[in-house]
Amino acid sequence: MRLLMCILIISSAFAEDKIKSELKNVRVLPFTKKAEIMKYMNKTVTKELGVKCNFCHNIKNFASDENAHKLVAREMMSMVMNINKNTMKPLKLHEVSCWVCHRGQKHPDHN
């Protein structure tokens, strides 16, 4: 009986985890649903940098961190979220995005 309870508790914990996120390796972005992250990747990231999915991903496994561009992009996402949270929102200013620097290019212009 006790063993059965244990199994029930463990399996319900796993089920709950699954409901919490459909995504495997999302550490910075606030999304838990595949549809939400797909919209962000399709409409925002690729356009603002002028690249395709495979610039950052192994398209057979989107959760993999094997691509170095993906790791840079994750840090950039974290940077943008921090700027918005700590600077733009408190000042009630328009939020920044990748576009503000990248303007549709992988490498922003330096002068």
Q: Point out which residues bind ligand HEC (CB under 6 A).
A: 23-29, 37-38, 41-42, 45-46, 49, 51, 53, 55-57, 62-63, 69-70, 72-74, 76-77, 80, 96, 98, 100-102, 106-108
Q: From CA 56, how far away is CA 75, in angstroms rounded?
A: 13
Question: Of 6 and 82, which CB lies nearer to ligand HEC in the complex structure?
Answer: 82
Written as six digits, the tokens of 37 are 């992250």
Residue 86 beta carbon to ligand HEC: minimum distance, rounded to whole angstroms: 14
Residue 21 beta carbon to ligand HEC: minimum distance, rounded to whole angstroms: 8
Q: Among candidates 40, 49, 42, 46, which has minimal Cα distance to 102?
A: 49
Question: Of 30 and 90, which CB lies nearer to ligand HEC in the complex structure?
Answer: 30
Q: Among candidates 20, 26, 50, which has minimal Cα distance to 38?
A: 26
Question: Of 7 and 63, which CB lies nearer to ligand HEC in the complex structure?
Answer: 63
Q: From CA 15, how far away is CA 104, in angstroms rounded?
A: 40
CA torsion through residues 57, 63, 69, 75, sign: positive
Question: Of 2 and 30, which CB lies nearer to ligand HEC in the complex structure?
Answer: 30
